[in-house]
Amino acid sequence: MTSADPYASARETTEGRVYTVTGGDWDEVLEDAAGDERIVMNLGPQHPSTHGVLRLVLELEGETVTQMRSVIGYLHTGIEKNTEYRTWTQGVTFVTRMDYLAPLSNEAAYCMGVEKLLGIEVPRRAQIGRVLLLELNRISSHLVALATGGMELGALTGMTNGFREREEALHLLEHLTGLRMNHAFIRPGGLAQDFPEDYQEKVSEFIKVMDKRLPDYDKLLTGNPIWQARLKDVGYLPVDACLALGITGPVLRSAGLPWDLRKTEPYLGYEEYDFEVPTTTEADSYGRYLIRLEEIHQSLKIMKQCLRKLEPGPVMVDDAKIAWPAKLTIGSDGMGNSLEHVRKIMGQSMESLIHHFKLVTEGFRVPPGQVYVPIESPRGELGYHMVSDGGTRPMRVHVREPSFVNLQAMPAMSEGALVSDLIAAVASLDPVMGGCDR
C-alpha cells in the first residue's frame, strides 16, 4: 500500500507510517448527480428511523427513490478481532455485545463452536436452559422490532405497548441471569450458574402476562386499515431474490420458504419441541410483521415445554480443566463471588488454588481445528466460523451476521418506491447495527 493509494493516504509520525483509510467514492457519486434534476439525500446516520447508525444515500426524483446505497461502519467495534486477544471464556463477554437485541443468540452460537472444537456435550439441563433463554430473547427482540416499526410509522401506542412487554421480558432475563442484556450467562461447557429457585414460577407468570397481552396487538395493529395501507405491498422481496442475496430469517419466511434452522438443522435438542414455523407468501412488510407476531406465540409454546423438561442436574460439564466458573456463587452485591465460594477455593489446597488461578487467567486449551456453527437468531442465520491453533485463545472468529447480509436487500426493496415506504422497508428488515458493524 503506497501513499498514492486514493483510499489510504499516508503520513509519517514518530511511531512510523500511519495510513488513513477513507470511505471511497462518495464524492464521485455526488458530483455525478450535481446540476441534474435528481436530488441526493442522506437518510441517517442520525435519523431516528435508521435503527441507530445506518446511513442511506438516496437519489431522488421528487419523492421516489431512484437509487439507494447503504453505508455502514459507524458502530464498528472490532469485536471479532478482540476475541483473538482473550481466552475462549472471555470471548463470550465480547460476542454478547454484537447484536445487543439478541445477546444470548451470540453467546449460544459462540459457545457451541467452542464445545464442538473441544468435542464435549453440555449437560441436558444446560441445553434446555439455553433453549428457554434463547426463546425468551427471541420474544424480547421481536417486541423491539414491532415497537420501533410502529414508532417509525406513527403508531405510537404500538411503540409504548411493545416496550412495555419487552420490559417484562428483560425483567425475567435479569431474574434468570443477573443482567437485562449482555449477559455472558451461556459459557463454554454450559451455563455460568443454575437458575434461581423460583424460576418456574417467574417464567410461568411471564407466559401468562404475554398470553393475555398479545391479542391486543391484533386489535391495535393487525386489522388496522392505516397499518395495512402502510405495510402491504411495501418492501416487496420475493423468494428468488431472497435466495440470490442470502436473506434468512423472518424476511425469507415472509416470502413463503419455511427455512428455520431450529427445524431444518436442529441444535440444542430443538427436534424434541413441538412448534410451527410460520410463513406467508405476501413477501412484503406486512407479512414480516405477521410472522414476527406469530413467532412470539411459538416461542412462548417452546418456553412452556422447557419448563416441563427441566429436571434437576448439573449446568456445567464435569471437567475441572474447562468448567469455570462452574459453581459460581454471587456475592451480596449481586456481582463478584461470595466469600463462602472464595473460602472454599482457597481452603481446599494450594494446588486447587493455583489451578483455579491459571484457569481464570490463562484459560483452557482448545484442540487445533475449525468449525462453523449456525443457529436461528431473531434476524436469521447467525453463524460462527472459529479457528483454533491449539492455544488458549481463538486464532480467528468470524461471524456470519444476519443484519449485515439482510441489509443487501435494501436497494431491491426500496428503489422505485417512495421515501416513506423506504422507512417501512428498513423497519421490516429489523437490522441491528451492532451486529452488522461488529
Burial class (CB in 10 A: 0-12, 13-18, 19+), 114: buried
Domain end, chosen from 48, 71, 94, is at: 71
Residues 38 and 104 in one domain: no
Contact 133, 307 (CB under 8 A): no
Residue 19 covered by a domain: yes
Taken in order 438, 149, 296, 163, the sign of the CA dihedral is positive
pLDDT tens track for 364-398: 899 999 999 999 999 999 999 999 999 999 999 99
pLDDT at residue 1 in the model = 45
Residue 354 covered by a domain: no
Please report which helix (H) or strand (E) contains residue 398, including its range.
strand 396-400
C-alpha cell at 262: 431450529
Residues 50 and 96 in one domain: no
State how far the alpha carbon of 67 is from the alpha carbons of 38, 253, 414, 430, in Å.
Answer: 10, 26, 8, 21
Residues 302 and 392 in one domain: yes
Domain end, chosen from 50, 71, 92, is at: 71
Longest dimension (CA), the chain: 80
Residue 340 covered by a domain: no
Residues 50 and 105 in one domain: no
Residues 379 and 409 in one domain: yes
- Read out DSSP for 64-96? EEEEEEEE--TT---HHHHGGGS-TTTHHHHHT
Q: Which residues of 16-36 are buried (b: 16+ CB within 10 A; e: fewer)?
A: eeeeeeeeeeeeeeeeebeee
- The torsion angles phi and psi of 54, rounded to 5 degrees, stand at -100, 135
Give the relative orientation of helices 285-309 and 419-429 as an angle to the nearest 10 degrees.
20
Q: What is the CATH number of the domain that holds 380?
A: 1.10.645.10
Q: Which residues of 369-399 are buried (b: 16+ CB within 10 A; e: fewer)?
A: eeeebbbbbbbbbbbbebbbeeebbbeebeb
Residue 422 covered by a domain: yes
pLDDT at residue 320 in the model = 76
Report the predicted TM-score, pTM, of the whole model to 2 decimal places.
Answer: 0.88
Residue 341 covered by a domain: no
pLDDT at residue 104 in the model = 95
Instruction: List, in order, residues 6 or more apart from 395 with CB less than 8 Å away.
Output: 84, 387, 388, 389
Residue 352 covered by a domain: no
Residue 406 covered by a domain: yes
Residues 110 and 145 in one domain: yes
For residue 245, the one-letter residue type is L
Residues 24 and 145 in one domain: no
Q: Which residues pair with 4 in a beta bridge?
A: none
Q: pLDDT digit of tens for each residue in the chain (438 aa)?
A: 444 666 677 888 887 887 776 666 666 666 665 556 778 888 878 777 777 688 889 998 888 999 999 888 888 889 999 999 999 988 999 999 998 899 999 999 999 999 999 999 999 999 999 999 999 999 999 999 999 999 988 888 989 999 999 999 999 999 999 888 898 899 999 998 889 889 999 999 999 999 999 999 889 999 899 999 999 999 999 999 999 999 999 999 999 999 999 999 999 999 999 999 999 999 999 999 999 999 999 999 999 999 999 999 988 888 877 876 545 555 555 555 667 767 776 676 677 777 777 777 888 899 999 999 999 999 999 999 999 999 999 999 999 999 999 999 999 999 889 998 999 999 999 899 888 888
Residues 94 and 28 in one domain: no
Residues 220 and 155 in one domain: yes
Range of the domain at 100: 79-324+363-437
Domain end, chosen from 49, 71, 93, is at: 71
pLDDT at residue 327 in the model = 55
Residues 90 and 194 in one domain: yes
Residues 101 and 167 in one domain: yes
Split into its structural domains, the chain has a count of 2
pLDDT at residue 326 in the model = 46
Residue 334 covered by a domain: no
Contact 101, 139 (CB under 8 A): no
Residues 223 and 104 in one domain: yes
